[in-house]
Homo-oligomer: A and B are copies of this chain.
């Protein structure tokens, strides 16, 4: 751990973000511009995110597979909007085995095209549908301005790709996944995301409709945290994905795609972190409980350590680490584990051994207020309850912060003001002109049009014309 003080989150959010990632050893810069190294602590968090999502995918009938990293350039060109959307961001392999390739290969920025090609080969009949495949993969987009976890040349994600017999089934899948992402974000990551539909301007290149979960970061900026796309028949027509229906007619499939990425790690950091560093939600934290033994001499140590070991064994259902580094003081260790965002710390000294208890310190409440004495009897229950309390408290705190920073301006002047430091939830007439104007003049984009609307009608916050829907406007990462 570095001796220098962490920049204050309230004073320099951006620098705080970078420093906390580097110092907590979540990730590091790599020698290749814009690529990151995800260090073991960061990867352990990603593995927990993966486990949590993968279980949800499998419970809803999805299976995993792996499609090639390389895609022929010609494949991307088959869907017009898709190639326009991704062309500027491509990494291209031109040489292999010492020879120039006849056709350059693109390093996948996303896999609709190559998966579409395979689906066309595999799908013959309505009996083959639906196809519900996901892959956990690395993808590459040649971004010019990069940020650790938020926007890197290479990143890690899952991409689901499904094929259905009807538009209705594809739409149902798209929304089912939107719900699944929302459930994960709220219940596991403690991020109170707002789900909704993307505007045509903001939708995925090649989609009929895109849905998104949008999160408010600690500086009030928005972060798109997961997307689910109804691709209509666009890719099915481009790649000839067809099936024989029950009346023996050849039909094009309806496809979807959906993904979340290591960006979620950035979302967790920027939602829950504070001036002390990270604060990880217990359900996903690589270390849920750190035990710091306290002793002044060998005699105390001989008393404390066997007790620590007992506690550790009682807590085998949790992810526990004992910090017995003898060259460091307890105070240094407290700071270190606070920086790393471990949600619960147990302090165990000789007095605790005598009293047959441990001192528990919550990461989310500093100082005495966050301390509780837990009796050794039933300590697993006590720890489990405290972790759940912390999980709930993180979500509640983020929800209060989010709601306090969402305003409902009715006129354009107020909107311009509000989005400098928060979100606007305002009526929008649905026109691209208003959307463009607001973005140009305020840098705020429409994050989403929520599916649940207040109802009724209003006047567009920009042009004043009649509007039937409200949208979230915010500056975004």
Chain A residues at the B interface, C-beta cutoff of 8 Å: 28, 30-32, 35-40, 42-44, 46-47, 63-72, 75, 87-98, 104-105, 107, 114, 117-118, 121-122, 127, 133, 137-138, 140, 142-144, 153-154, 156, 327
- Number of identical monomers bound together in the oligomeric complex: 2
C-alpha gap A140/B95 in the complex (Å): 13
Ordered nearest first, which 7 A-B pairs have the shortest CB separation? Answer: A97-B142, A40-B63, A35-B68, A38-B66, A92-B95, A96-B142, A94-B94
Contacts of A127 in B (CB 8 A): 327
Among the listed B88, B95, B98, B144, which residue makes an inter-chain contact with A94, where contact means beta carbons less than 8 Å apart?
Answer: B95
Contacts of A93 in B (CB 8 A): 91-94, 107
Say yes or no: A31 contacts B75, CB within 8 Å.
yes
A-B contact pairs, 27 of them (CB 8 A): A31-B75, A32-B68, A32-B70, A32-B71, A32-B105, A32-B114, A36-B68, A37-B66, A37-B67, A40-B133, A43-B63, A43-B66, A44-B64, A66-B138, A69-B107, A87-B98, A88-B97, A89-B97, A90-B96, A90-B97, A90-B98, A92-B95, A92-B96, A93-B93, A93-B107, A96-B153, A97-B142
Contacts of A153 in B (CB 8 A): 70, 96
- Considering the complex, give the chain B residue whose CB is closest to the CB of A102: B33
C-alpha gap A182/B188 in the complex (Å): 38
Say yes or no: A64 contacts B35, CB within 8 Å.
no
Contacts of A28 in B (CB 8 A): 118, 121-122
Say yes or no: B118 contacts A66, CB within 8 Å.
no
Do A95 and B91 form a contact, CB below 8 Å, given A43-B65, A64-B40?
yes
Contacts of A39 in B (CB 8 A): 65
Say yes or no: A40 contacts B65, CB within 8 Å.
yes
Say yes or no: B114 contacts A70, CB within 8 Å.
no
C-alpha gap A32/B96 in the complex (Å): 12
A112 shortest CB reach to chain B, Å: 14
C-alpha gap A142/B98 in the complex (Å): 9
C-alpha gap A133/B40 in the complex (Å): 8
Among the listed B67, B97, B156, which residue makes an inter-chain contact with A66, where contact means beta carbons less than 8 Å apart?
Answer: B156
C-alpha gap A156/B114 in the complex (Å): 18
Do A31 and B94 form a contact, CB below 8 Å, given A65-B39, A66-B156, A67-B37?
no
Among the listed B46, B64, B67, which residue makes an inter-chain contact with A30, where contact means beta carbons less than 8 Å apart?
Answer: B67
- Considering the complex, give the chain B residue whose CB is closest to the CB of A32: B70
A130 shortest CB reach to chain B, Å: 13
Interface centre among A63, A68, A88, A105 (most CB of B within 10 A): A68
Contacts of A40 in B (CB 8 A): 63-65, 133
Say yes or no: A35 contacts B94, CB within 8 Å.
no
- Considering the complex, give the chain B residue whose CB is closest to the CB of A67: B37
- Considering the complex, give the chain B residue whose CB is closest to the CB of A87: B98
Contacts of A31 in B (CB 8 A): 72, 75, 114, 117
Do A64 and B47 form a contact, CB below 8 Å, given A28-B121, A32-B71, A96-B92?
yes
